[in-house]
Structure 1
Amino acid sequence: MKAISAVFELGCAITVAQIVWRATKLPLRASLAFCAVWLAPTVIFNGAVWAESDSIWTYFTLVSIALFMRDRNGVASFAMAFSVKAQGVFLGPFVLGMILRRRIHPAWLATVPGIYVVLAIPVLVAGRSLASVFAVYLDQAHTFNRLTMNAANIWVLAGGLPYAIGVAVGMVLAAASGLALSIFIARSRRAGPEFILLAACVSLMLMPYLLPKMHERYFYAFELASIALACLNPRYVPFAVMAQVDGVLSYLAFENGIVLGVLPAALCNSLLVYYLVHDLWRGERGFRFPKLAWLGFIASTAGLFSYLVIEGPGLNISPLYLLATGLVTAAALLLLKESRGDLAGPDQLP
């Protein structure tokens, strides 16, 4: 089971590396992107530790983004992601915006149920009823009766809200925000790989942040897409690192029962949502290295290391993994140093 996830984790790393290579043509950045995705702590947790399948739908999600960044149609890949797991819908606002922006025929949306039906054929042949196959996502929606399943989102901050009211408010809020994002993408005059990737990251972050009943691992696609964004523009390096730290804090809440890290993770994710939406809205007028983002990065990283030293396994960690992650961190610092002059003029340096 874990081998299946490992194959798609490798696919995710290759796809992100290709995204970065096509956008920058810089081997260092593409190599860093590959290593950072393949060795990301949340990737290790999700697949090697938990044997979850989020790398599968995330792979098709990243392929869809890569195709749109190359001015190609990524709707079919999005349909594959949704057919594998309902969480693929997190990319929905971005895909709808690109359909409207690129004037892609709305008939392409029929590929979503079409691919789902094709992929369901082996299950139907194996004997599962037609009704259960087409109601599986609806049944999953009624599995838990909690506003958050350790997801570091807005519902951690609204724990006292009644369940039924929270679900209704969350669905309306997510739908309205998703529609607004789609319209913005369709009408925006901005173009280029960074804008498209940033819009995709906003979609992948905003949906699990606003929707109720989310698990901690549902930020998986954003966590990997943010690595690609950080390699395109080092301004987003602290964002990608914060996403990993927040993800690990959420995972540890389920893994070891330590839930104290979920609240600071939710606060840091709130900062991420604010800055991502701010940058998408303001475009090139946005500031470079936001101090609050760095503050959140430092605070969340310090909290994680404190947890590992005081409550966690201490030094009982693979030396090879520590060496590999150390090399990736060093490469990230080199990337920042390399790109300072490229990102800002002499009078704009932070």
Structure 2
Amino acid sequence: MQRLTKIKFKILTLNVDSVDDKPYKSVSRHFRCMSSTPTILEERATSSLLQVRNLTIDYVSIDGSVRVLEDVSISVDTSEVVGIVGESGSGKTTLGLSILGLLDRPPAKVRRGEIIFDGETDLLRLDDHKFEKLRGGHLSIVLQESVEALNPVYKVGFQLLEALEAASKREKKSFNRESAKREVLRLLEELCVSQPSMVLDKYPHELSGGMRKRVAIAMAILQKPKLLVLDEPTTGLDAYVQSRLLTLLRQLNREYGVAMLIVTHDLPLAATICDRIYVMYAGRILEEGEAKAVLNSPKHPYTKALVSAIPQGFVDAPPLDVPPGEPPDLKRLPKGCKFAPRCPKKTSLCEAFEPLLLGSHTGRVRCWLYSDDKNT
């Protein structure tokens, strides 16, 4: 796996009314070995495929240490789609890369926490060799910068067929190169790749950014993962291709139980496909809950500000004022609530003490406005 550069994000919007629910037959062939699963509401209390517990990470340099994640805990259940949303610098990228073992260590330093995958494996304790066997198999990622996912010295066709062959070996199935090539071509067609045969014969640098993104998505799908991590999956794609991609992802999730963790700025995307959402700010979870509840009735002032950026009519929420200011400098965080300097509802309590993340299984919020004990 190649080294990754720091990823920058853009806010994208999507008209979900245009998403087509037409099933994709070749996708079904890719996931024939996977059985259908009940809806997420039926599965919620059964098994967690991924559990991140109290993950705390610093970036260390000669100038000192910067805390980029502070006691972050998230979970992704089997067949669930979870979104991580927030501004640049909130810690989303670091969280996603840490799950896949793609953080450069150093400068990244894990201070505490664990990442449990499939009920038993702590990903933070795996050596590189064991992680490489897991990554690209049961764990797959689609990077925002798709060029990072493709080897520049091999043609696209070779890399896609290699991914499918690896999945076949893992499942102890026979592999026929000609039939595999037909499967790859069908999948590329469903991702709106024109002249897919020609694309297979090209090197990654000969493709546009949007085309490379589609190839990277196809490669991740061909690996037949249990958990698919998508980093700004719609970046660089036009509206029609975005629509087709969302249909494809929903097909994988709803019918074949592929769990997904989506890192995005695009709240309409999160509302379209996610079952639950975590809202991050300054390396912390500020709010979490079911996607519809968070987007239609946001509690934390920061979440309300994010929702206000969604085009009116997308969710049943009144227009909201975006707070002034910029995300905090992680080297100089305020003492209390990290959002307090920008919050229109801050009090002296907010400035003095940081609230806990409190709530129930239906949702939690880190805000003194929703604390039962304001004298703590």
Please, what TM-score do these two structures have when normalized by structure 1? 0.35
Task: Mark the structure with the bigger radius of gyration.
Answer: 2
More strand by share: 2
More helix by share: 1
Q: Which has the higher contact order (CA 8 A, sep 6+)?
A: 2
Please, what TM-score do these two structures have when normalized by structure 2? 0.33
